[in-house]
Amino acid sequence: MGQTLLQKVWDAHTVRRLPTGQTQLFIGLHLVHEVTSPQAFDMIKARGWRVAFPNRTFATVDHIVPTANRQRPFLDTMAEAMMSSLERNCAEHGIPLYNIGSEHQGIVHVIGPELGLTQPGMTIACGDSHTSTHGAFGAVAFGIGTSQVRDVLASQCLALEPLKVRRIEVTGRLAPGVYAKDVILEIIRRLGVKGGAGYAYEYAGPAVDRMTMDERMTICNMSIEGAARVGYVNPDETTFAFLKGRAFAPQGAQFEAATKYWRSRASDADARYDDRVVIDGDQLEPTVTWGINPGQSVGVSGALPDPRAASKDDRAGIEEALQFMGFDAGQRIAGTRIDVAFIGSCTNSRLSDLREAARVVRGHRVAPNVKALVVPGSEGVRQAAEREGLHEIFQQAGFEWRGAGCSMCLAMNPDRLERRQVCASSSNRNFKGRQGSPTGRTLLMSPAMVAAAAIAGEVVDVRTRLADVEVTA
């Protein structure tokens, strides 16, 4: 019987089985940022410990950094304290820090792959829920809490429960205007926001095989929104081509040797899975969330559910979401007025996301009364986009063009919703209060859909806009 990638990577990194039934797993790469690390560093300092593997630890600043005015000290004294703390801790322990001003500063899940730090067959940990992003490379990547950040700093190990594996095959071919974001929103809608508990999600099938690394990262990024502990795609030629020449990827003959090893990490053809799910990619359309969790979504041509027709288990959740969002049962999602359009976050702020959004925006103006901003995932993405002139397309349309960071994904910085504003967002969470206002409302969608909504001032089907692009090109 063959093995899955998860089993192979797990076994290769097992230090020992613990009496609790957990596995002590060695972590190949630890990514650190300013928000979840200060307390963890304090805890190891209080015990007189040092960081066990500073050469396997890399830091950046993303969550609290302002994306407009980055002058230090920050006006927000708590943000300034977090920044200073990370700077001090990195200097003290010899950890590389991609700080403001570095061409590699950016969202931790964007810069890891960009630098070639993220590689197939690795175990990766980071104090952020969306660490699953790195699974796109065939790594097993865990989002961890502050006490686990302490554990990894001190020992480079984590104590983890064993996982089952669910293989999710996406068949067919995505239509123009349908993106990886729509695929993962459909998966979460279908399997539920708790459906992945205890599982690793292995994404596969022809539609995933055809995806770029950026698209695979979008899918793996949101695994956690379906409660999967990790999500991954088996490494293939697309993975290797992405990594070739990156700063921390093996070079020359070592790259060829690494490729051979990486290929061997992929799940075997006869691997046994605990569950299998098939999603028909041909049937997908652009998808928009209407509720207060990422599983509450609908195709752009569809209507919101009626709680009276829902199962007893789902009824209360639908009622609560409709009430919070100010929507009526049966209402169509298209035509929902928006106040803010946000293109950014570790889900959808990479160069290909910005290119696709710019394609929709080119030659148009942002609707009056809509505040629109583009926040590249990293300074590397920002610079590459500027070399292509994408910033000019956005700025001419009326978008604000910002520096790299998490921005309005979770609003721990000056980018926030106000009052009851509705935001078309390319991020990953639509929880109550997520974007800074306790009553603000988030509609998750692909970056191209956000761009189309920004221009129209309301939710529209981006496929109609793309048709427009073809005609006028």
Residue entry with tokens 């919070």: 324
Instruction: In whole angstroms, give the CA distance from residue 185 to residue 209.
Output: 18
Question: Of the two residues 62 and 339, which places its CB atom closer to ligand SF4 in the complex?
Answer: 62
Q: Mask 388-407, x = binds ligand SF4 (CB under 6 A)?
A: ------------------x-
63 binds ligand SF4 (CB under 6 A): yes
Torsion angle of C-alpha atoms 356, 361, 362, 366, degrees rounded to 10: -160
CB of 360 to ligand SF4, least distance (A): 22
Burial-class residue 290 by CB neighbours within 10 Å (0-12, 13-18, 19+): buried
State the minimum distance, in angstroms, from the CB of residue 413 to ligand SF4. Answer: 10
Per-residue mark of binding to ligand SF4, 293-322 (x: CB under 6 A): ------------------------------
For ligand SF4, the binding residue among 62, 182, 339, 353 (CB under 6 A) is 62
Nearest distance from residue 227's CB to ligand SF4, in Å? 16
345 binds ligand SF4 (CB under 6 A): yes
Dihedral sign from CA coordinates of 399, 403, 406, 410: negative
Residues 410-439 that bind ligand SF4 (CB under 6 A): 410, 428
**225 near ligand SF4 (CB under 6 A):** no
Is 220 within 8 Å of 132 (Cβ atoms)? Answer: yes
Hey, CA dihedral for 352, 261, 29, 143, is it positive or negative? Answer: positive
Nearest 5°: the CA angle 317, 203, 254 is 140
Is 128 among the residues that bind ligand SF4 (CB under 6 A)? yes
List 30, 56, 93, 130, residue binding ligand SF4 (CB under 6 A)? 130
Instruction: Provide the minimum distance between the beta carbon of 228 and ligand SF4 in the complex, in angstroms, as a whole number.
Output: 15
User: Distance from CA of residue 254 to its chain's centroid?
Assistant: 30
Choice between 30 and 167, CB closer to ligand SF4: 30
Query: Is residue 118 a contact point for ligand SF4 (CB under 6 A)?
Result: no
Which residue do the tokens 């019987």 mark? 1
- For ligand SF4, the closer of residues 299 and 376 by Cβ is 376
Query: What three-state secondary structure class fits 163?
Result: coil
3-state secondary structure string across 332-351: ECCCCECCEEEECCCCCCCH
Alpha-carbon span 176 to 226, nearest angstrom: 25
Under rule CB under 6 A, how many of the chain's residues touch ligand SF4? 13
34 touches ligand SF4 (CB under 6 A): no
Q: Minimum distance between the CB of residue 380 and ligand SF4, rounded to whole angstroms?
A: 16
Applying CB under 6 A, which residues contact ligand SF4?
A: 62-63, 107-109, 128, 130, 345-346, 406, 409-410, 428
